[in-house]
Structure 1
Amino acid sequence: MTILPAIDLKDGEAVRLTKGLMESAKVYSSQPWELVKRFEELGAEWVHLVDLNGAFAGEPKNLEQIEKIRQNCSVKLELGGGIRDEATIKRYLDLGIDRVILGSIAVKDPEFVKAMAAKYPVVVGIDAIDGYVAVEGWGEVSEMKATDLAKAFADAGVEAIICTDVGRDGTLGGVNVDFTLDIARASGIPTIASGGVRDDSDLAALAVTDEVAGVIIGKAFYEGTIDLEEVMKVYGNG
């Protein structure tokens, strides 16, 4: 099970939100690249990055920090937030991002995502509120069930699906194991759990099944409820 430490970028700083609300942002570092370097030193293979400003704007908004992260760190990077067209995908991959996360566009134009997955390393991000897909930086809730969206990409060639229970994200309230398994079973694609991870018990609950390919750890690291170095040793990294 791959452990993916997470950094959300807002106005050039590393922050974490509660339930996806921008006004809830808590700043953890004004130099995000230093955090990524720390994750690398602790043994992370992947780091999960989100351009929060970009998610709302629909275009890259934290390029300077993303470039600085890539220049200073050798860990693999996946990046989401505001990626809506092929030019942006190519721009990030040319910058050295290892794979891109397509979220809102996966709901609005799934055929585009399938076409991109055939050409580039693509991950689909499925963010849900009460089981329905949230888009545009979680500012809107669609009428599509998360499991139906997962099924749509079953044979599309995407590298993974990241599923986030928005209601739990940043709350330290515990990961939604059932939701993660529902997405994994609907898609048949390696699925990464996200949202609400609190402590080792969450990781243990996810690790009992090989249907979960990874887990994203954010606030649990920043608030000290998970010892990242220790869980890397216990669960390995992939």
Structure 2
Amino acid sequence: MHVIPAIDILEGHCVRLYQGDYQQSQIYDQSPVDVARKWEDQGATRLHIVDLDGAKAGTPQNQEAIAAIAEAVSVPVQVGGGLRNYQSVAEVMELGVQQAILGTTAVEQPETIRTLCQEFPNRIAIGIDARNGKVATKGWLETSEILATDLALQMAKQGVATIIYTDIYRDGTLSGPNIEALREIANCTDVPIIASGGIRSVTDLLNLLTLEPYGVAGAIIGRALYTGDVVLSEALQAVGPGRIQDVPPELGNMDFA
């Protein structure tokens, strides 16, 4: 299973939110680039970048920082936040990003997702962020009536490479991942799932390993890395830094190092 450090950027700084609440942010480092280098030095095979300003505004806001991270590290970078049309995705790809993550667009303009998947094969991921099983949009500021499982099925038909599933009520809380929700969403589609939200320990990662046969192929870790509850090198040793031979073909095309 791939362990993917998260770098959330707000007003140019590396921060963590609590349950997606912009009013409950904590700055962990002034330089997202320094953080990216640190995680790569500790063995990260991929980085997960979120443009929080972009998610809130609806258009990318931290392109300079994202470009600097992509240039500073040699591992693939996946980016989400404010990517809601073809132009914004194309522009972020030009920054050196390996994969773009869309969320709101998947709900509001699913036909755009199909077009992007055709234009950027194996480089489009969908972020499904859920509250009580229903999909949240617009930087988690709104909640739709669409079930996460229904959206996963629809996006699989559009040809997405990966689904990143986040339980918002677990995000930033160090309360553990929502195993049942992850199993449910993994069971409904063959698209590889990356788990996000609430991971607090290596034990949580080992629990997620039980979902590998269902298609959960990676885990994004945020706050636990910054608080020291999880040491990246220990996590990688515990669950494997990248058993490429065990990864489904679709995920293997994502150029994990």
TM-score computed with the length of structure 1 as normaliser: 0.98
What is the match of residue 183 of structure 2?
181
What is the match of residue 224 of structure 2?
220
Identity value in percent: 42
Given residue 220 of structure 1, which amino acid in structure 2 is its aligned partner? Answer: A
Q: Assess if the C-alpha contact under 8 Å between 1:101 and 1:123 holds in 2.
A: yes
Distance (whole Å) between structure 1 residues aligned to residue 10 and residue 231 of structure 2: 25
What is the match of residue 93 of structure 1?
93
- Aligned-residue CA RMSD in angstroms? 0.9
Per-residue CA shift, 1:48-78, capped at 9, x if unaligned?
A: 0000000011111111211211221112100
Per-residue CA shift, 1:172-215, capped at 9, x if unaligned?
A: 00011111111111122100000100101110111023221100
Distance (whole Å) between structure 1 residues aligned to residue 209 and residue 193 of structure 2: 12
Q: Assess if the C-alpha contact under 8 Å between 1:152 and 1:187 holds in 2.
A: no
Q: Which runs of 5+ in 2 are unaligned?
A: 243-257
1:172 to 164, 170, 174: 174
What is the match of residue 21 of structure 2?
21
Query: In the TM superposition, what are the counterparts of 1:30-45 in structure 2 within 5 Å?
Result: 30-45=30-45
Query: In the TM superposition, what are the counterparts of 1:70-85 in structure 2 within 5 Å?
Result: 70-85=70-85
Instruction: Tell me how many residue pairs correspond in the alignment.
Output: 238
Shift, 1:158, TM fit: 1.2
Q: Which runs of 4+ in 1 moved over 6 A?
A: none
TM-score computed with the length of structure 2 as normaliser: 0.90
Of 223-232 and 64-73, deviating more is: 64-73
Given residue 150 of structure 2, which amino acid in structure 1 is its aligned partner? Answer: D
Q: Which runs of 5+ in 1 are unaligned?
A: none
Distance (whole Å) between structure 2 residues aligned to residue 95 and residue 63 of structure 1: 8
- The answer as to 2:68 corresponding to 1:64 is no
- The answer as to 2:142 corresponding to 1:153 is no
Distance (whole Å) between structure 1 residues aligned to residue 83 and residue 241 of structure 2: 27
Of 153-162 and 20-29, deviating more is: 153-162
What is the match of residue 113 of structure 2?
113
What is the match of residue 145 of structure 2?
143
Shift, 1:119, TM fit: 1.6
Shift, 1:103, TM fit: 0.5
Shift, 1:235, TM fit: 1.5
Shift, 1:156, TM fit: 2.6
What is the match of residue 125 of structure 2?
123
Q: Secondary structure at the match of 1:142?
A: strand
What is the match of residue 233 of structure 1?
237
Distance (whole Å) between structure 1 residues aligned to residue 40 and residue 77 of structure 2: 11
Given residue 236 of structure 1, which amino acid in structure 2 is its aligned partner? Answer: G
